[in-house]
Structure 1
Amino acid sequence: MIDELGEEVKWGHISMVEAERRLLAHALLDDATNARFVLLSESHVPLFDLPTVHSYLVKSTQVFLESYDQPGATGRGRYSRGMRPVVSLGQWRKGSQWFEMDRTLAADVVADRVYFPVFKRFCMRNCYADEHYLPTFLHVRRPEAGANRSLTWVDWSHGGPHPARFTRMEVTVDFLRWLRGGSTCSYNGETTSVCFLFARKFLPNSLTRFLRFAPKVMGFG
């Protein structure tokens, strides 16, 4: 995969984080009024219309980025002792790469000259920097700012290193309604059923079904 600057980006590699930081830098410079930043992929779909998404983000008192301590091989087992003393095992965190953050955190990530160099040097091979750099950075710099959840719904029930993929016939009215309100979570200190604004992984052939159901189920014009 090649990013917008022609740099090669490899899955699970530090180049993923480098690409994310470049995207944030461009977004910060694009418009000084840009307040919230969301990372999405080509297999993401929106679950609500733009006014709803915008309101949800700009009114939030927290950023939506997972950051949790996970024992075992896929969590603490990926930590490298070479990161000490800048990043300790107690600070090491994991989370989904699909983030949403405010302008303050985005600027801090782009300006980071302390933690990113350590990750670039020591988070290699089976470390998967895209699952650890931002969660660890948030935990160290602004732990109170994180909602510790992602706004992207994915299905990990099948196991393995990648979430389930959804084809055209799996996109139904009932499924979309469940995605939009089938969970409960906290938002600005209150319980809500609107927990996910996006979902993945949906294959390109599912587009026709989304276009058919969007006006009725998702409020799109």
Structure 2
Amino acid sequence: MKRRAHPHKFLHKWTKILFLLLLLGFCFGSFVLLEKHHSQIRIFASFSPPAVLRPKIAFLFISRNRLPLDIVWDAFFQGDDENRFSIFVHSRPGFLFNNATTRSAYFIDRQVNNSIQVEWGESSMILAERILLKHALADPLNTRFIFVSDSCIPLYNFSYTYDYIMSTPTSFVDSFADTKEGRYNPKMDPIVHIQNWRKGSQWVVLTRKHADIVVKDDVVFPIFQLHCKRKSLPEFWRDNPVPLDNSKEHNCIPDEHYVQTLLSREGLDDEITRRMLTHTSWDLSFSKEHDRRGWHPVTYKLADATPTLIQSLKDIDNIYYETEYRREWCTSKGKPSPCFLFARKFTRPAAFRLLKTSVLSFNEASR
């Protein structure tokens, strides 16, 4: 007797045939669609891929009025073609950076609109720094924040500077325990303990985390406003009452203590590289009075602007901290490196001479 085919086999066979027909139909339809939109596809294919957004360095300039060294910084910023920096300037209230006040397009309209009048040695300097940081933090791509003075110059080109800073995950904050009597005001306790009292430079480089801490601080800053004040000096007595006995005054310069003390109080000493990237030479012969020595940094003038000076700054590879008997060897990417990327204080003629004679060369090859 002849065996009849099982009905499931017929169903399986027709299913395979139907699948093949659908596949052929899909391929044919796709081919027709590609032919129809061939010209549009070629246009889209010719477009360049979207630019990759890279982390940026925010340069925060603190200036009295205009920036006298703007042309030097203009040459420096020209070394970047990937939009890896942003600029913010704090100048006196009402001062505008436009074609009449700056020769660099990089600084036009870069002044913050809520600046304040800053007085040396007062908490207004800290407030100016906080204003700059708040503006810079509004851009989520800003991940490093550098405070720059109006007399500061870069020592290397942009690419080297960018790689150096970005390769270090910490903030650059020269911070050491300040044990000199008279600087710490006991009235700060218990908000600011003497164990967290630190001193350093205001020209710090902060990570985004630490910049955010500075901006949001509403505990330590008010204490500094009340109890951290510079000692009265004769040159200021014409504007202020003459103290009866200034030997009992605390000599606290707010911007030299605030960031260092705040980060220490937050338990973040291990998250900072305890040195600065801006070189300053202090004039220890300024006064015969011991407590006034080192108040003013050396100003480099036209005659000082030589290749020898710049090379000597670049050759510095370690820093010694006398108060802690500590020597800090400078590294970048785990290897020995120069300590400083910037230097101050330079007059306008001195900085322009360095630029004109190519002592400061910011092209890629020169580093």
- Structure 1 residues 183, 169: CA separation in 2 closer, same or farther (over 3 Å shift)? same
Equivalent position of 1:18 in the other structure = 127
Matched, 1:147 2:273: yes
Bigger Cα displacement from structure 2, 183-192 vs 6-15: 183-192
Q: For residue 275 of structure 2, what is the amino acid of its counterpart?
A: R
Greater relative contact order (CA < 8 Å, ≥ 6 in sequence)? 1
- Structure 1 residues 54, 188: CA separation in 2 closer, same or farther (over 3 Å shift)? closer
Q: For residue 363 of structure 2, what is the amino acid of its counterpart?
A: F
Matched, 1:220 2:363: yes
Shift of 1:104: 0.5
Identical-pair percentage:
34
Matched, 1:42 2:150: yes
Structure 1 SS opposite 2:156: coil
Bigger Cα displacement from structure 2, 59-68 vs 96-105: 59-68
Shift of 1:219: 4.0
Q: State how far apart, in whole Å, the 1-side matches of 2:160 and 2:206 are.
A: 17
Q: State how far apart, in whole Å, the 1-side matches of 2:361 and 2:264 are.
A: 34
Q: Structure 1 unaligned runs (5+)?
A: none
Shift of 1:218: 4.0
Instruction: Return the match for 2:220 from 115, 121, 124.
Output: 115
Equivalent position of 2:196 in the other structure = 91
- Structure 1 residues 72, 138: CA separation in 2 closer, same or farther (over 3 Å shift)? same
CA RMSD of aligned residues (A): 1.9
Shift of 1:61: 2.4
Q: For residue 128 of structure 1, what is the amino acid of its counterpart?
A: I
For normalisation by structure 2, the TM-score amounts to 0.56
Contact 1:37 1:106 in 2 (8 A): yes
More strand by share: 2
Q: For residue 277 of structure 2, what is the amino acid of its counterpart?
A: L
Q: State how far apart, in whole Å, the 2-side matches of 1:180 and 1:89 are.
A: 36
Q: Structure 2 unaligned runs (5+)?
A: 1-63, 65-91, 94-111, 232-251, 286-292, 319-328
Q: For residue 296 of structure 2, what is the amino acid of its counterpart?
A: H
1:77-113 deviations in whole A, cap 9, x for unaligned? 2111111111111111100111101101001110111
Contact 1:67 1:138 in 2 (8 A): no
Contact 1:82 1:122 in 2 (8 A): yes
More helix by share: 1
Shift of 1:195: 0.8
Equivalent position of 2:284 in the other structure = 158
Shift of 1:40: 0.5
Q: For residue 315 of structure 2, what is the amino acid of its counterpart?
A: G
Shift of 1:220: 3.2
Aligned residue pair count? 216
Equivalent position of 2:25 in the other structure = none
Bigger Cα displacement from structure 2, 123-132 vs 179-188: 179-188
- Structure 1 residues 213, 147: CA separation in 2 closer, same or farther (over 3 Å shift)? farther
Contact 1:177 1:217 in 2 (8 A): no
Q: State how far apart, in whole Å, the 1-side matches of 2:340 and 2:354 are.
A: 17
